[in-house]
Amino acid sequence: MKIEAAGAILPRFIKRSVPSSPPRSRCKCRERNLLLLVLGTFALICFGTIFYLPDLGEGLWRLERLKRVQKRVGDVGGDLLLPVPPPARGRPGAAEDRRRLYSKAQEAAVPASGGSVAPVPPDPLHPVISGGEDPDPVMRFRRRKIKEMMRHAWKGYVTYAWGEDELRPVSRRGRSAGIFGRQAMGATIVDALDTLLIMGLEEEFSEARLWVKQKLDLAHVTSEVSVFEVNIRYVGGLLACFALTGDALFRDKAEETARALLPAFDTPTGIPYAMVVPATGRAKNYGWASMGGSILSEFGTLHMEFSYLSDVTGQPVFREKVHRVRDQLARMDTPGGLFPNYLHPVTGDWGQHHTSVGALGDSFYEYLLKEWLRSGGDDRQALRMFQLAMGNITDRLVKTSDQSGLTFVAEMHRERLSYKMDHLACFIGGLYALAAAKDPEADTDRYLELGRQITATCHESYDRTATKLGPESFRFTDQVEARPLLQQEKYYILRPEVIESYFVLWRLTGDPKYRDWGWQAAQAIEQFCRVEAGFSGIKDVDSLWPEHDDVQQSFFLAETLKYLYLLFSDSELLSLDQWVFNTEAHPLPIRGANQLYRQTDVG
């Protein structure tokens, strides 16, 4: 407020003194007084800012606000208001692709929150897996705030739902998620483990590890669990912890859990069923999925974890299963070059011709590129399929809206386009950018630009709501752009995909606007989703008093908070040159590029 007042004084002072030309002595005296007043105000603010800096809370919130105001007042003394953040240290640049992308981004970027970026080669021998503070005090403050949010989410879960799958933060009880069977299987514990570790929450990590050691036993669950969900959250989470710590407990639990899923693969095609009862091996598909079909985003999202598991256990069975799935897919004709979302595991026929990078399709595309990366470039089949699939998606599904010129990815239903994007589909902005950086044959400029534009569209989907949180789906019609059309599209369940793309784009381009967008989202989550016992999804992103859905999804701790934390960390922390994130944000090491790969030759 003081700064706004100062900003208002300056122009008035200049205006009054010039045209009226008062007597020299009076003018001088008034000038001196005003000047003293302005300088005094600036000195007070600077002193106040510095004084409050060590006091993590208030002072830095104020710094945030000051910074915003500074942006607004522009040149009028702006530099005096805030200390210039120290230059960023050690932004990695070992990979040539990264350097190329980075300098391109620098040309285009309009710095919004300061902090220059100087490429310095990372040390490949010492992957940074915790710490990683950013030199910019604003980023350090934001990161501390995200860590506090993680503590709050965790505490609520520990207090009211320990051992259950998820927390109901409003009614303060546990929630058994169904996708993990009827028994409580501690999904939040396993999903959150690596976030706790990366954030340096050691006590919390230790209590979580103890639960894994004493209680985690998916192999004996007597009800149906989702093969996909168990893989990405449990197997992925445990493997990430094994890589990060070298603690064999995590590897052994990952193996035990993945073994419990293997009966689902016993089909004529090798395409697994969606659900399995671990204790009996009975497997089946969802009744609603196109005539008993398996789902592309589910059976196509196993490769990273299963292949890595084979490498660290020396047991080839896991890799064999997923390679069979891939070989089956690679043999099939794709209608119009697009992969339909359903495939029958017995007949090997496609189901309904519905293609989407949102629900039912999304992470299949993600894993094609990422498994090629994770395998250190070994899995060429994955890269080839990625190039083909994304080439056709880019040609046929990427569209631009009429009024605002927003780029989005449409869906295809039979031969008809549907101009709708799911929140889930927003990961694709980051994926385009990753392909631009890593795929040697990608059209770098085009893919990077698509990554930027689609991410900007997803940001619009947040910015155009009352809460500044994005809806579950948004549309592009004559009436609306990047807005939900139906009431049932308006909910936000703490999903990560938009923030995930901000994170990837920030890492690959260095454009500070992604950090600002991430911070906007974090503040909105804090304002509308935080409740006394944790964080809850909301039912209407357009209501300023939204009703809570009373679920704290485990992916909020695994993904949303982790990506936010990394967004405000130094880029050396879990460098994208050494790690690749599975679809649940669990970091897996890149073979040949990461000392923590921990391959075993046994078996």
Active site residues: 472
| Residue closest to ligand DMJ when measured from CB atoms | 583
The Cα 514–Cα 115 span in angstroms is: 13
CB of 135 to ligand DMJ, least distance (A): 31
Q: Give the CA angle between residues 403, 445, 423 to the nearest 5°.
A: 50
Residues in binding contact with ligand DMJ, number by CB under 6 A:
8
Toward ligand DMJ, which CB reaches closer, 229 or 481? 229
Two tokens, residue 142: 């934001």
**Residues 99, 507: contact at Cβ < 8 Å?**
no
Give, as ranges, the residues between 356 and 375 that touch ligand DMJ (CB under 6 A). 363
The Cα 67–Cα 80 span in angstroms is: 11
Of 368, 473, 489, 484, give the one whose Cα is nearest residue 426. 473
The helix/strand/coil state of 581 is: strand
Toward ligand DMJ, which CB reaches closer, 447 or 555? 555
Give, as ranges, the residues between 405 and 424 that touch ligand DMJ (CB under 6 A). 424
Burial class (CB in 10 A: 0-12, 13-18, 19+), 280: exposed
CB of 171 to ligand DMJ, least distance (A): 22
The Cα 474–Cα 477 span in angstroms is: 10
Q: Given candidates 141, 205, 386, 555, which one binds ligand DMJ under the rule CB under 6 A?
A: 555
Element (H, E) at 168: strand 166-168
Q: Given candidates 161, 306, 584, 596, which one binds ligand DMJ under the rule CB under 6 A?
A: 584
Contact flag: residue 98 with ligand DMJ (CB under 6 A): no
CB of 458 to ligand DMJ, least distance (A): 13
**Would you tell me how many other CB atoms lie within 10 Å of the CB of residue 334?**
16
Task: Map tokens 């694709």 to a residue.
Answer: 428
Toward ligand DMJ, which CB reaches closer, 308 or 365? 365
Q: Give the CA angle between residues 530, 152, 144 to the nearest 5°.
A: 100
Toward ligand DMJ, which CB reaches closer, 114 or 236? 236
CB of 356 to ligand DMJ, least distance (A): 13
Cα separation values, 525 from 192, 307, 588, Å: 18, 36, 28
The helix/strand/coil state of 114 is: coil
Give, as ranges, the residues between 558 and 577 that touch ligand DMJ (CB under 6 A). 559
Toward ligand DMJ, which CB reaches closer, 423 or 598? 423
First and final C-alpha spacing in the chain: 67
The helix/strand/coil state of 31 is: helix
The letter for the amino acid at 60 is L
* Cβ within 8 Å of residue 504, ≥6 positions away: 429, 430, 431, 433, 434, 451, 576
CB of 572 to ligand DMJ, least distance (A): 24
The letter for the amino acid at 147 is K
CB of 424 to ligand DMJ, least distance (A): 6
Task: Map tokens 């979580």 to a residue.
Answer: 208
Toward ligand DMJ, which CB reaches closer, 424 or 576? 424
Tell me 2's DSSP state. Answer: H
* Cβ within 8 Å of residue 178, ≥6 positions away: none
Two tokens, residue 600: 């075993």
Two tokens, residue 177: 């998620």
Question: 436-448 burial, b if ≥16 CB within 10 A, otherwise e?
Answer: bbbbeebebeebb
Q: What is the contact mask toward ligand DMJ in residues 468 to 507, using x (rule: CB under 6 A)?
A: ---------------------------xx-----------
Toward ligand DMJ, which CB reaches closer, 82 or 424? 424
Toward ligand DMJ, which CB reaches closer, 273 or 555? 555
**Would you tell me how many other CB atoms lie within 10 Å of the CB of residue 261?**
29
CB of 502 to ligand DMJ, least distance (A): 15
**Would you tell me how many other CB atoms lie within 10 Å of the CB of residue 57?**
12
CB of 185 to ligand DMJ, least distance (A): 15
Toward ligand DMJ, which CB reaches closer, 424 or 434? 424
CB of 299 to ligand DMJ, least distance (A): 13
Contact positions vs ligand DMJ (CB under 6 A):
363, 424, 495-496, 555, 559, 583-584
